[in-house]
Chains A and B, each alone.
Chain A
Amino acid sequence: MLTNEQILTQLAEKMPGLAISSEIAHDGILNIHTTREQIIELLQLLRDDADFGFNFLTTLCAIHYPELIGRELSIVYHLHNWQQNVRIRVKIFFPIDDPHVPSATGLWPTANWMERQEYDFFGVVFTGHPDLRRILNVDDMEVFPMRKEYRLEDGTRTDKDDRFFGRDGHVGQSFD
């Protein structure tokens, strides 16, 4: 059984230059942080190396953290080793002004629509993607609606603002 420690030790051996940090998430799944420059190399190693065997791209999704200046956007890849039933997540962070990430479609064809979806909602540009168009929203939409600055409905409503309930939340925390 492949443990999280083994994954990290072997990664350090097999990809020595890897800019990496890691953590164990709330659900026990190992999160590996890397850079967008190294992401494809890392994903390929995790997929093809017999010691890792993460054959299946479960899903990938983008996240917007407006308060992390210079690394506002994140892509999270969920990988799954079906033989040993181990899951990991690989995360990259990058600035929202330069939202370019190499596409994983060369490794998994299933990344095609997943990346189109994250482009559609977050404006992440996947370089090398064969057909990067909007997928769920209308073609002439001008914004990337899942970014946090876009409110859902009425932006003036503040009655459920977290600050009024003794929490450290911000306005983005209200049910607007």
Chain B
Amino acid sequence: MQVQSYFSSLDSLDGELATLNLGPTHPATHGIFQNVLKMDGERIVSAEPTIGYIHRAFEKIAEHRPYYQVTPLTDRMNYCSSPINNMGWYMTVEKLIGCDIPKRAQYMRVIIMELARIADHLVCDTVIGVDTGALTGFTYMFQERELIYELFEEVCGSRLTTNIGRIGGMERDFTPVFHAKLKKFLKGFPARFEEFNSLLDRNRIFMDRCIGAGPISAERAMAYGFTGPNLRAAGVDYDVRVMSPYSSYQDFEFDIPVGVNGDTYDRFVVRQEEIRQSLRIIHQAYDNLPEGPYHADVPDFYLPDKPDVYTKMEALIYHFKVVMAEVPVPVGEVYHSVEGGNGELGYYLISNGGRKPYRLHFRRPCFIFYQAYPEMIKGSMLSDAILTMSSMNVIAGELDA
């Protein structure tokens, strides 16, 4: 049998290739993804991804909901870091209505968003460990993620789909319990995280499995619209927090880690370093947390205090107006993007002055970079393809919207 032309003469070899249906519900893919793989032994000749298994028509629903009711939809996109999605959406609306947020609220948002980034990256990096056969780090780091969720719970009452914050600021100030828990987390987490890191990052088995798995060059990554850690692993230092600072990110000093080869190992190392940088940002924001109000004075959008609603006529009127979305909104279009867990998460909002978006388009980084997956796994082993998918951190909710 001739070996040299597997990839050039697929038709003639068709009878000898196996078609493997990976997914839609396969335990190794951590989500609902289907890939119809054409296999030559254990090597992938071509892949055909099918997506949309958890499509929930968010863009359509958003055209039928007032602005504040769009927030829970954004929760359910990248549900590993819902607060970033929520706040990206608030900032889009705030850009449209021209609302300046008090410094304290901005710093509070930064703390929450960076905690969410840590939680997001922890999931991805520990799952890379699981897929290479190291379950231990995953079980330990999920206890840390639990602590982050407790912090979210303390602010907003929810853990996964948070609906945290409000248009105009935060829903409440940090509570004393939050302060205590955050201090405890910041004290205990770094050592445990470094212990997890030392299990993997110079581990010979882990390195042999990850280095060279699913690589992509910087040029291809940019052409494919990569952003976030996957792009930085390929060596491009694009980060929305630095390029277009929002929510006072310009006040903080942090580094953008970049990789070289854009492979699984680089993606892992970049995310690990981003966790350290996020901790740096949280420390700076928390140590310099300004005094002042935790929300802007926008009665048209921000609900009045509940006791006032029961006792004051004006507060009652505003409460009714906010809930019924009977508030004037400028006509216009805005694009706002934030650095989500997986890259540039953008909101393109078109308002016609009505009580709900005329059109709201989500730029979802997972949806955009997942189309490079067939190219990245072509010619690789099946087990490397699994690893590549988990290291790209494709979140089904964000993929399908």
Contact = CB atoms under 8 A, between A and B. Distances in A.
B376 interface: no
A55 interface: yes
Using C-beta atoms within 8 Å of the partner chain, give the interface range for chain A. Answer: 35 or more
B1 interface: no
Chain A, interface SS category: loop
A112 B344 contact: no
Given A25-B333, A175-B65, A61 B348 contact: yes
Contacts of A31: 333
B364 to A, nearest CB: 9
Interface in A36-75: 55-59, 61, 63-64
Nearest to B59: A146
Nearest to A145: B60
Contact of B335 (A27, A162, A169): A27
A58 B65 contact: no
Interface of A: 25-27, 29, 31, 55-59, 61, 63-64, 76, 78, 82, 85, 87, 89, 108-110, 112-114, 117, 121, 135-138, 145-146, 150, 152-153, 160, 162, 165, 167, 169, 173, 175-176
Contacts, number: 106
A121 B326 CA distance: 29
Interface of B: 51-52, 55, 57, 59-61, 63-66, 95-96, 220, 222-225, 238, 243-244, 324, 326, 330, 332-337, 344, 346, 348, 350, 353-356, 359, 361, 363, 367-368, 370-372, 400-401
A157 B51 CA distance: 33
Chain B, interface SS category: mixed
Contacts of A87: 335
A136 B366 CA distance: 14
B361 A165 contact: no
Contacts of A109: 220, 223-224, 371-372
> What 6 A-B pairs come out closest when comparing CB atoms?
A26-B332, A110-B225, A136-B52, A61-B361, A27-B334, A59-B363
Contacts of B238: 82
B222 A58 contact: no
